[in-house]
């Protein structure tokens, strides 16, 4: 009888490792297999026990502490009798475990013999979920974190506030939950409300879950625009003092935080302080995008602020506000990140050098910020990074505002061709974003995220062409199915 040809380990992986040596034979994982580890990797060995359905004790799978690896680097040696995963840091050992887990999911627990040595191209490999427009449960968020970490992503950007809802508590501001977290639904003749709120225990649980998977969590609080939900709860923080309402439709709204009101900065100090306590990773995202200046132009307090600080126009007033908010973030021991509009109006005033710029309106914001000496994260909506866009230009496909094919995502690079070497050194990495104006349910979110998020992960780890991705499509879809992920299965191009 003719034997089936042994499949190669590279057929089952996304991202592809940096170096793979394929060897003859295979190792089968089953519930009799044992795992052992160096003391530094004990928690990871316990996670491996759960993810691979093995037992702690012997050395069928060994997590070995070795010198000379960079923080996210690892090696994986698979023979017929043993698997040895070597790393110097827990991040690298975790990535090695996820590589092993990918093969196990895609190939029915049969691991082809091989030697892998691997590390990422970029340090920031992120994904963003908008939980303001539509609320997603903690269990679903943890499900996404697990699948993202399986693909070696390491940053979860959590969009928590916007015009349509505020999602986290701040001591002394109870109306954030009672008013700002809910909006009136307009689809029915009978009045309904929609909303949700993450309590302190929810946030702590999600952060701990992410950390066990070597993923940092970056909360976003929108400032000074996209503030309707906040103003509905606390109208004294707006220019006109209201009345305001939590918005039940989408767009950009003229009512924003009053730049001339010191109470706004006092509130933001409390809110940012809360985020700094709940989220123990180094970053807080302060928004900064899509802030109209209409109310500032007519507000005596804002005009006085401009006069007192010798600001020429409302663009400079926004730059002044961004600087104050960034200083609050730094005061609480974190590093600020802002969308590329934070650059607007900063030509004369400048911005704190520690501020990281996230470029979303194409690549131009990233190019400008890097030339000004800011570190940048590339996430251009024009380059395959916006996953709320349709997979295909078809009336049959869900999605919003544009089209991002799998091929578009497969061509993304955080360092575009027009970027010089000096600017390339300022690039931390890239990120894919899922805005949820039209994403009501978690199954819709999964369909829009995958497989494009898997492809984005590879672009930030070890970029491969679309043909290579197509060749690994069946194994990718099998892995996602094993994890109960609803996946787009149409044309990749």
Q: Which residues sit opposite 124 in a β-bridge?
A: 429
Q: How far apart are CA 18 and CA 67, in angstroms?
A: 19
Which residue out of 22, 46, 290, 437 is catalytically annotated?
Answer: 290
Q: How far apart are CA 202 and CA 209, in angstroms?
A: 11
Cα angle value 245/250/255 (rounded, 5°): 45
Q: Tell me the HSE value of 151 on the side-chain side, using a 13 A CA sphere.
A: 30
The answer to whether residues 469 and 164 touch, using CB atoms and an 8 Å cutoff, is no
Which residue out of 226, 285, 293, 374 is catalytically annotated?
Answer: 226
Q: How far apart are CA 45 and CA 87, in angstroms?
A: 13
Total Cβ atoms within 10 A of residue 409: 27
Instruction: Please give the distance of CA 336 from its chain centroid, rounded to a whole number.
Output: 15
255 is catalytic: no
The answer to whether residues 492 and 473 touch, using CB atoms and an 8 Å cutoff, is yes
Q: How far apart are CA 44 and CA 50, in angstroms?
A: 10
The answer to whether residues 232 and 244 touch, using CB atoms and an 8 Å cutoff, is yes
Which residue out of 162, 222, 289, 408 is catalytically annotated?
Answer: 162
Q: Using the CB atoms, write b or e for 388-404: b if 16+ within 10 Å.
A: bbbbbeeeeeebeeeeb
State whether residue 455 is helix, strand or coil: helix
Q: How far apart are CA 42 and CA 124, in angstroms?
A: 26
Q: What is the DSSP letter of 132?
A: S
The answer to whether residues 423 and 364 touch, using CB atoms and an 8 Å cutoff, is no
Residue 284's H or E segment, with its range, is strand 283-287
297 is catalytic: no
The answer to whether residues 160 and 220 touch, using CB atoms and an 8 Å cutoff, is yes
159 is catalytic: no
State whether residue 324 is helix, strand or coil: helix
- Phi and psi (nearest 5°) for 312? -80, -30
Q: Which residues contact 127 (CB under 8 A, 6 or more apart)?
A: 144, 148, 153, 155, 156, 157, 431, 432, 433, 434, 449, 453, 456
Residue among 176, 175, 195, 197 nearest 185 (CA): 195
Residue among 88, 118, 120 nearest 21 (CA): 118
Query: How is 43-56 classified by DSSP, letter by letter?
Result: HHHHHHHHHHT-EE
Kind of pairing, strands 19-28 and 110-118? antiparallel
Residue 306's H or E segment, with its range, is helix 300-308
Which residues carry out catalysis? 162, 226, 290
């Amino acid at each position: 009888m003719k034997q089936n040809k042994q499949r190669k380990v590279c057929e089952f992986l996304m991202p592809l490792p940096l170096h793979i040596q394929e060897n003859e034979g295979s190792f089968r994982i089953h519930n009799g297999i044992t795992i052992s580890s160096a003391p530094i990797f004990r928690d990871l060995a316990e996670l491996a026990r759960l993810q691979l359905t093995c037992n702690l004790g012997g050395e069928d799978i060994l997590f070995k502490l070795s010198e000379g690896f960079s923080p996210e680097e690892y090696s994986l040696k698979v023979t017929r009798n043993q698997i040895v995963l070597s790393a110097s840091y827990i991040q690298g050992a975790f990535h090695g475990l996820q590589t092993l887990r990918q093969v196990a999911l895609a190939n029915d627990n049969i691991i082809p013999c091989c030697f892998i040595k691997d590390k990422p191209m970029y340090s920031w490999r992120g994904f963003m979920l908008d939980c303001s427009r539509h609320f997603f449960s903690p269990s679903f968020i943890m499900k996404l974190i697990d699948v993202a970490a399986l693909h070696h992503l390491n940053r979860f950007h959590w969009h928590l506030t916007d015009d349509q809802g505020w999602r986290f508590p701040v001591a002394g501001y109870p109306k954030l939950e009672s008013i700002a977290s809910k909006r009136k639904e307009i689809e029915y003749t009978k009045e309904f409300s929609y909303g949700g709120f993450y309590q302190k225990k929810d946030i702590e649980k999600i952060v701990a879950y992410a950390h066990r998977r070597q993923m940092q969590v970056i909360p976003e609080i929108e400032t000074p625009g996209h503030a309707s939900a906040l103003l509905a709860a606390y109208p004294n923080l707006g220019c006109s003092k209201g009345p305001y309402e939590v918005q039940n439709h989408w767009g950009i709204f003229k009512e924003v935080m009053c730049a001339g009101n010191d109470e706004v900065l006092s509130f933001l100090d409390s809110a940012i302080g809360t985020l700094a306590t709940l989220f123990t990773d180094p970053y807080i995202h302060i928004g900064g995008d899509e802030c109209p200046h209409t109310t500032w132009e007519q507000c005596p307090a804002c005009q006085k602020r401009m006069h007192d600080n010798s600001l020429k126009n409302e663009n400079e007033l926004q730059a002044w506000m961004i600087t104050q908010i960034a200083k609050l973030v730094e005061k609480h021991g974190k590093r600020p990140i802002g969308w590329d509009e934070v650059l607007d109006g900063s030509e004369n005033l400048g911005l704190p050098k520690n501020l990281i710029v996230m470029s979303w309106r194409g690549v131009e914001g990233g190019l400008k910020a890097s030339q000004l000496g800011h570190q940048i994260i590339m996430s251009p909506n024009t380059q395959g990074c916006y996953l709320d866009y349709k997979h295909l230009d078809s009336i049959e496909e869900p999605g919003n505002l544009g089209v991002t094919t799998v091929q578009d995502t497969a061509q993304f690079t955080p360092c575009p061709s027009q970027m010089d070497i000096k600017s390339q050194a300022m690039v931390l990495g890239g990120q894919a974003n899922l805005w949820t104006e039209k994403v009501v349910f978690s199954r819709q979110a999964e369909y829009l995220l995958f497989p494009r998020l898997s492809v984005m992960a590879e672009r930030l780890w070890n970029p491969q062409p679309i043909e290579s991705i197509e060749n690994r499509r069946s194994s990718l879809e099998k892995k996602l199915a094993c994890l109960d992920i609803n996946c787009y299965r149409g044309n990749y191009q």
